[in-house]
Protein backbone atom coordinates (compact mmCIF):
# COMPACT_ATOMS: atom_id res chain seq x y z
CA UNK A 1 0.00 0.00 0.00
CA UNK A 2 2.88 2.37 0.82
CA UNK A 3 3.95 2.12 -2.85
CA UNK A 4 0.81 3.98 -3.82
CA UNK A 5 1.43 6.95 -1.54
CA UNK A 6 4.56 8.14 -3.25
CA UNK A 7 4.32 11.44 -5.09
CA UNK A 8 5.25 10.01 -8.47
CA UNK A 9 2.64 7.24 -8.26
CA UNK A 10 -0.05 9.63 -7.07
CA UNK A 11 0.79 12.04 -9.89
CA UNK A 12 0.70 9.26 -12.48
CA UNK A 13 -2.66 8.11 -11.11
CA UNK A 14 -4.14 11.60 -11.20
CA UNK A 15 -2.81 12.19 -14.72
CA UNK A 16 -4.43 8.92 -15.81
CA UNK A 17 -7.69 9.97 -14.16
CA UNK A 18 -7.69 13.28 -16.05
CA UNK A 19 -6.92 11.61 -19.38
CA UNK A 20 -9.47 8.86 -18.79
CA UNK A 21 -12.26 11.27 -17.84
CA UNK A 22 -12.12 13.44 -20.96
CA UNK A 23 -14.44 11.44 -23.29
CA UNK A 24 -16.90 11.01 -20.39
CA UNK A 25 -16.79 14.73 -19.65
CA UNK A 26 -17.35 15.86 -23.23
CA UNK A 27 -20.23 13.46 -23.79
CA UNK A 28 -21.83 14.32 -20.44
CA UNK A 29 -21.53 18.08 -21.06
CA UNK A 30 -23.37 17.67 -24.37
CA UNK A 31 -26.01 15.52 -22.73
CA UNK A 32 -26.41 18.16 -20.02
CA UNK A 33 -27.33 20.76 -22.66
CA UNK A 34 -29.83 18.42 -24.26
CA UNK A 35 -31.41 17.35 -20.98
CA UNK A 36 -31.66 20.92 -19.74
CA UNK A 37 -33.90 21.50 -22.78
CA UNK A 38 -36.05 18.53 -21.75
CA UNK A 39 -34.72 15.90 -24.13
CA UNK A 40 -33.05 12.68 -22.98
CA UNK A 41 -30.67 11.21 -25.55
CA UNK A 42 -29.72 7.59 -24.87
CA UNK A 43 -28.05 7.47 -28.28
CA UNK A 44 -24.91 9.24 -27.04
CA UNK A 45 -22.87 6.04 -27.21
CA UNK A 46 -23.87 5.37 -30.83
CA UNK A 47 -23.05 8.94 -31.85
CA UNK A 48 -19.71 8.64 -30.07
CA UNK A 49 -18.94 5.45 -31.98
CA UNK A 50 -19.65 7.11 -35.32
CA UNK A 51 -17.64 10.18 -34.33
CA UNK A 52 -14.81 7.95 -33.15
CA UNK A 53 -14.72 6.02 -36.40
CA UNK A 54 -15.04 9.16 -38.55
CA UNK A 55 -12.14 10.83 -36.77
CA UNK A 56 -10.01 7.67 -36.79
CA UNK A 57 -10.56 6.99 -40.47
CA UNK A 58 -9.90 10.60 -41.42
CA UNK A 59 -6.57 10.57 -39.58
CA UNK A 60 -5.72 7.17 -41.06
CA UNK A 61 -6.29 8.52 -44.56
CA UNK A 62 -5.06 12.10 -44.26
CA UNK A 63 -2.81 12.15 -41.20
CA UNK A 64 -4.57 15.33 -40.01
CA UNK A 65 -5.82 15.30 -36.42
CA UNK A 66 -7.57 18.63 -36.92
CA UNK A 67 -9.54 17.27 -39.85
CA UNK A 68 -10.35 14.15 -37.82
CA UNK A 69 -11.75 16.26 -34.99
CA UNK A 70 -13.81 18.33 -37.45
CA UNK A 71 -15.22 15.16 -39.00
CA UNK A 72 -16.06 13.77 -35.54
CA UNK A 73 -17.95 16.95 -34.64
CA UNK A 74 -19.69 17.03 -38.04
CA UNK A 75 -20.89 13.46 -37.60
CA UNK A 76 -22.17 14.39 -34.15
CA UNK A 77 -24.07 17.33 -35.63
CA UNK A 78 -25.58 15.11 -38.30
CA UNK A 79 -26.71 12.50 -35.78
CA UNK A 80 -28.08 15.31 -33.63
CA UNK A 81 -30.14 16.59 -36.55
CA UNK A 82 -31.57 13.11 -37.10
CA UNK A 83 -32.38 12.68 -33.41
CA UNK A 84 -33.89 16.16 -33.19
CA UNK A 85 -36.17 15.53 -36.17
CA UNK A 86 -37.28 12.21 -34.69
CA UNK A 87 -37.92 13.44 -31.15
CA UNK A 88 -38.89 17.10 -31.60
CA UNK A 89 -40.79 17.18 -34.88
CA UNK A 90 -42.02 13.59 -35.07
CA UNK A 91 -42.37 13.49 -31.26
CA UNK A 92 -41.19 9.90 -31.01
CA UNK A 93 -40.64 8.42 -27.56
CA UNK A 94 -37.21 9.63 -26.48
CA UNK A 95 -35.96 6.50 -24.73
CA UNK A 96 -36.70 4.19 -27.64
CA UNK A 97 -35.42 6.69 -30.22
CA UNK A 98 -32.17 7.04 -28.30
CA UNK A 99 -31.69 3.29 -28.17
CA UNK A 100 -32.31 3.26 -31.94
CA UNK A 101 -29.57 5.85 -32.46
CA UNK A 102 -27.23 3.80 -30.27
CA UNK A 103 -27.87 0.58 -32.16
CA UNK A 104 -27.48 2.35 -35.50
CA UNK A 105 -24.18 3.87 -34.37
CA UNK A 106 -22.93 0.55 -33.00
CA UNK A 107 -23.77 -1.38 -36.15
CA UNK A 108 -22.92 1.23 -38.76
CA UNK A 109 -19.56 2.18 -37.25
CA UNK A 110 -18.62 -1.49 -37.22
CA UNK A 111 -19.82 -2.00 -40.79
CA UNK A 112 -17.79 0.98 -41.99
CA UNK A 113 -14.77 -0.24 -40.04
CA UNK A 114 -14.99 -3.74 -41.50
CA UNK A 115 -15.46 -2.46 -45.05
CA UNK A 116 -12.93 0.37 -45.01
CA UNK A 117 -10.24 -0.79 -42.59
CA UNK A 118 -10.60 -4.41 -41.41
CA UNK A 119 -7.66 -5.21 -39.17
CA UNK A 120 -7.12 -2.43 -36.61
CA UNK A 121 -4.31 -0.16 -37.78
CA UNK A 122 -2.75 2.25 -35.30
CA UNK A 123 -2.73 5.95 -36.20
CA UNK A 124 -0.40 8.60 -34.83
CA UNK A 125 -1.67 9.58 -31.38
CA UNK A 126 -2.74 13.11 -30.46
CA UNK A 127 0.40 14.99 -29.47
CA UNK A 128 0.74 16.24 -25.92
CA UNK A 129 1.28 19.95 -25.35
CA UNK A 130 5.09 19.68 -25.48
CA UNK A 131 4.95 17.67 -28.71
CA UNK A 132 2.74 20.08 -30.64
CA UNK A 133 4.31 20.78 -34.02
CA UNK A 134 5.95 24.20 -34.09
CA UNK A 135 5.00 25.39 -30.62
CA UNK A 136 5.78 22.33 -28.47
CA UNK A 137 9.12 23.79 -27.36
CA UNK A 138 7.35 26.63 -25.57
CA UNK A 139 5.70 24.16 -23.20
CA UNK A 140 8.74 21.98 -22.52
CA UNK A 141 9.86 23.99 -19.46
CA UNK A 142 6.36 23.60 -18.00
CA UNK A 143 6.37 19.84 -18.56
CA UNK A 144 9.76 19.66 -16.85
CA UNK A 145 8.38 21.06 -13.58
CA UNK A 146 8.70 18.20 -11.13
CA UNK A 147 5.43 16.24 -10.70
CA UNK A 148 3.23 19.24 -11.51
CA UNK A 149 4.48 19.25 -15.11
CA UNK A 150 3.27 15.70 -15.73
CA UNK A 151 0.00 16.32 -13.96
CA UNK A 152 -0.99 19.59 -15.60
CA UNK A 153 0.94 20.07 -18.81
CA UNK A 154 1.42 16.66 -20.36
CA UNK A 155 -1.97 16.25 -21.99
CA UNK A 156 -3.29 16.73 -25.50
CA UNK A 157 -5.16 19.85 -26.52
CA UNK A 158 -8.57 18.14 -26.41
CA UNK A 159 -8.10 17.54 -22.69
CA UNK A 160 -7.71 21.26 -22.05
CA UNK A 161 -10.58 21.98 -24.42
CA UNK A 162 -12.86 19.62 -22.50
CA UNK A 163 -12.18 21.29 -19.16
CA UNK A 164 -12.35 24.75 -20.75
CA UNK A 165 -15.82 23.90 -22.05
CA UNK A 166 -17.13 23.39 -18.50
CA UNK A 167 -17.27 27.12 -17.63
CA UNK A 168 -18.26 27.91 -21.22
CA UNK A 169 -21.29 25.61 -21.07
CA UNK A 170 -22.14 26.97 -17.60
CA UNK A 171 -21.96 30.53 -18.93
CA UNK A 172 -24.06 29.70 -21.99
CA UNK A 173 -26.71 27.97 -19.90
CA UNK A 174 -26.86 30.52 -17.10
CA UNK A 175 -25.93 33.84 -18.66
CA UNK A 176 -27.14 33.92 -22.24
CA UNK A 177 -30.60 34.29 -23.76
CA UNK A 178 -30.19 30.98 -25.52
CA UNK A 179 -29.29 29.29 -22.23
CA UNK A 180 -32.27 30.84 -20.50
CA UNK A 181 -34.51 29.57 -23.30
CA UNK A 182 -32.98 26.08 -22.99
CA UNK A 183 -33.70 26.00 -19.26
CA UNK A 184 -37.18 27.42 -19.78
CA UNK A 185 -38.25 24.83 -22.34
CA UNK A 186 -36.79 22.12 -20.10
CA UNK A 187 -38.72 23.27 -17.06
CA UNK A 188 -42.00 24.56 -18.42
CA UNK A 189 -42.34 24.48 -22.20
CA UNK A 190 -45.94 25.77 -22.13
CA UNK A 191 -44.88 28.89 -20.24
CA UNK A 192 -41.86 29.39 -22.50
CA UNK A 193 -44.06 29.02 -25.53
CA UNK A 194 -46.56 31.56 -24.21
CA UNK A 195 -43.68 34.03 -23.86
CA UNK A 196 -42.76 33.58 -27.52
CA UNK A 197 -39.89 31.11 -27.14
CA UNK A 198 -39.89 28.51 -29.89
CA UNK A 199 -39.74 25.25 -27.95
CA UNK A 200 -39.11 23.16 -31.03
CA UNK A 201 -36.29 25.37 -32.33
CA UNK A 202 -34.63 25.67 -28.91
CA UNK A 203 -34.74 21.92 -28.32
CA UNK A 204 -33.59 21.29 -31.88
CA UNK A 205 -30.50 23.44 -31.39
CA UNK A 206 -29.79 22.06 -27.90
CA UNK A 207 -29.97 18.46 -29.11
CA UNK A 208 -27.75 19.17 -32.11
CA UNK A 209 -25.12 20.95 -30.02
CA UNK A 210 -25.24 18.16 -27.43
CA UNK A 211 -24.78 15.57 -30.13
CA UNK A 212 -21.84 17.49 -31.57
CA UNK A 213 -20.24 17.17 -28.13
CA UNK A 214 -20.84 13.41 -28.33
CA UNK A 215 -19.17 13.31 -31.76
CA UNK A 216 -16.22 15.24 -30.31
CA UNK A 217 -16.10 12.84 -27.34
CA UNK A 218 -15.90 9.90 -29.73
CA UNK A 219 -13.20 11.61 -31.78
CA UNK A 220 -11.24 12.30 -28.59
CA UNK A 221 -11.46 8.66 -27.57
CA UNK A 222 -10.23 7.18 -30.86
CA UNK A 223 -7.53 9.82 -31.32
CA UNK A 224 -6.30 9.44 -27.73
CA UNK A 225 -6.16 5.67 -28.10
CA UNK A 226 -4.85 5.98 -31.68
CA UNK A 227 -7.02 3.07 -32.74
CA UNK A 228 -10.57 2.08 -33.58
CA UNK A 229 -12.28 -1.21 -32.92
CA UNK A 230 -15.77 -2.67 -32.76
CA UNK A 231 -17.69 -1.01 -29.91
CA UNK A 232 -14.70 1.09 -28.94
CA UNK A 233 -16.72 3.14 -26.44
CA UNK A 234 -17.78 0.15 -24.36
CA UNK A 235 -20.71 2.02 -22.86
CA UNK A 236 -19.01 5.37 -22.18
CA UNK A 237 -22.05 7.15 -23.64
CA UNK A 238 -24.38 5.46 -21.17
CA UNK A 239 -22.13 6.29 -18.24
CA UNK A 240 -22.09 9.90 -19.51
CA UNK A 241 -25.89 9.96 -19.28
CA UNK A 242 -25.63 8.69 -15.70
CA UNK A 243 -23.03 11.38 -14.95
CA UNK A 244 -25.53 14.08 -15.93
CA UNK A 245 -27.85 12.81 -13.20
CA UNK A 246 -24.87 12.43 -10.87
CA UNK A 247 -23.92 16.05 -11.59
CA UNK A 248 -27.46 17.32 -10.99
CA UNK A 249 -27.50 18.88 -14.49
CA UNK A 250 -24.75 21.33 -13.41
CA UNK A 251 -21.63 21.29 -15.64
CA UNK A 252 -19.19 21.70 -12.75
CA UNK A 253 -20.69 18.74 -10.89
CA UNK A 254 -20.85 16.73 -14.09
CA UNK A 255 -17.11 17.41 -14.41
CA UNK A 256 -16.62 16.28 -10.81
CA UNK A 257 -18.47 13.07 -11.57
CA UNK A 258 -16.36 12.39 -14.66
CA UNK A 259 -13.18 13.04 -12.69
CA UNK A 260 -14.36 10.81 -9.84
CA UNK A 261 -15.16 8.01 -12.25
CA UNK A 262 -11.75 8.46 -13.90
CA UNK A 263 -10.01 8.57 -10.54
CA UNK A 264 -11.65 5.40 -9.25
CA UNK A 265 -10.77 3.59 -12.48
CA UNK A 266 -7.20 4.91 -12.51
CA UNK A 267 -6.70 4.01 -8.85
CA UNK A 268 -8.04 0.52 -9.42
CA UNK A 269 -5.66 -0.02 -12.34
CA UNK A 270 -2.72 1.43 -10.43
CA UNK A 271 -3.41 -0.62 -7.31
CA UNK A 272 -3.64 -3.78 -9.36
CA UNK A 273 -0.43 -2.99 -11.23
CA UNK A 274 1.35 -2.46 -7.90
CA UNK A 275 -0.20 -5.67 -6.52
CA UNK A 276 -2.01 -3.73 -3.77
CA UNK A 277 -5.23 -5.35 -4.98
CA UNK A 278 -4.60 -9.11 -5.14
CA UNK A 279 -5.12 -10.81 -8.49
CA UNK A 280 -8.00 -12.84 -7.09
CA UNK A 281 -10.00 -9.70 -6.36
CA UNK A 282 -9.68 -8.29 -9.88
CA UNK A 283 -13.33 -8.92 -10.77
CA UNK A 284 -14.56 -7.08 -7.69
CA UNK A 285 -12.12 -4.25 -8.37
CA UNK A 286 -13.38 -3.95 -11.95
CA UNK A 287 -16.86 -3.25 -10.62
CA UNK A 288 -15.71 -0.46 -8.29
CA UNK A 289 -16.27 2.52 -10.64
CA UNK A 290 -19.79 1.36 -11.50
CA UNK A 291 -20.65 0.63 -7.86
CA UNK A 292 -19.45 4.05 -6.71
CA UNK A 293 -21.42 5.76 -9.50
CA UNK A 294 -24.59 3.85 -8.58
CA UNK A 295 -24.14 4.64 -4.87
CA UNK A 296 -23.65 8.30 -5.67
CA UNK A 297 -26.77 8.31 -7.82
CA UNK A 298 -28.80 6.66 -5.07
CA UNK A 299 -27.56 9.17 -2.49
CA UNK A 300 -28.12 12.15 -4.78
CA UNK A 301 -31.41 11.10 -6.32
CA UNK A 302 -33.49 12.28 -3.39
CA UNK A 303 -31.68 15.61 -3.11
CA UNK A 304 -31.77 16.94 -6.65
CA UNK A 305 -34.50 17.54 -9.16
CA UNK A 306 -34.03 17.31 -12.90
CA UNK A 307 -35.66 19.48 -15.56
CA UNK A 308 -39.41 19.14 -14.98
CA UNK A 309 -40.20 18.52 -18.64
CA UNK A 310 -37.42 15.99 -19.20
CA UNK A 311 -38.50 13.27 -21.68
CA UNK A 312 -41.87 14.98 -22.24
CA UNK A 313 -42.64 15.93 -25.85
CA UNK A 314 -44.14 19.40 -26.29
CA UNK A 315 -47.48 19.93 -28.00
CA UNK A 316 -48.93 23.39 -28.31
CA UNK A 317 -52.50 23.44 -26.95
Size of the site for other proteins (CB under 8 A): 39
In the set 70, 180, 227, 297, which binds other proteins (CB under 8 A)?
A: 227
What distances in angstroms separate CA 34 from CA 43, 46, 78, 142, one per listed residue? Answer: 12, 16, 15, 37
In the set 67, 74, 112, 125, which binds other proteins (CB under 8 A)?
A: 125
Residue 273 binding other proteins, by CB under 8 A? yes
Residue 81 burial (CB < 10 Å; 0-12/13-18/19+)?
A: middle
First to last CA, the chain: 64
Mark 56-95 with x for binding to other proteins (rule: CB under 8 A) and - for no binding.
----------------------------------------
Measured from the Cβ of residue 226, the count of other Cβ atoms closer than 10 Å reads 14
In the set 37, 156, 250, 265, which binds other proteins (CB under 8 A)?
A: 265
Q: Which residues, other chains included, contact 272 with Cβ-Cβ below 8 Å and sequence gap of 6+?
A: 279, 282, 285
> Which DSSP string corresponds to 99-161?
HHHHHHHHHHHHHHHHHHT-S----PPPPBGGGSTTTHHHHHHHHTSTTHHHHHHSSBHHHHH
Closest distance of CB 148 from other proteins, Å: 16
Check: CB of residue 24 under 8 Å from CB of residue 240. yes
**Which is closer to other proteins, CB of 83 or CB of 271?**
271
Mark 282-311 with x for binding to other proteins (rule: CB under 8 A) and - for no binding.
xx-xxx------------------------
Residue 263 binding other proteins, by CB under 8 A? no
Binding positions for other proteins, rule: CB under 8 A: 9, 12, 16, 19-20, 23, 110, 113-114, 118-122, 125, 221, 225-227, 229-232, 234, 236, 265-266, 269-270, 272-275, 279, 282-283, 285-287
Amino acid sequence: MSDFFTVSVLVATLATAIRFSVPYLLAALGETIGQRSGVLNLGVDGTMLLGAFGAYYTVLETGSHLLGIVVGIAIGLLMGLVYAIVTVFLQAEQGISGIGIFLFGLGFSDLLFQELVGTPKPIKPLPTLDKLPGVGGIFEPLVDIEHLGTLLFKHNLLTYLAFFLVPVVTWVLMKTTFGMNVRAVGENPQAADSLGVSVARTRFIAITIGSAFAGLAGATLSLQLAIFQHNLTNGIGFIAVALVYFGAWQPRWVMSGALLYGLVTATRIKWQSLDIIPQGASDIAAMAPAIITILALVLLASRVRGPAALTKPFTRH
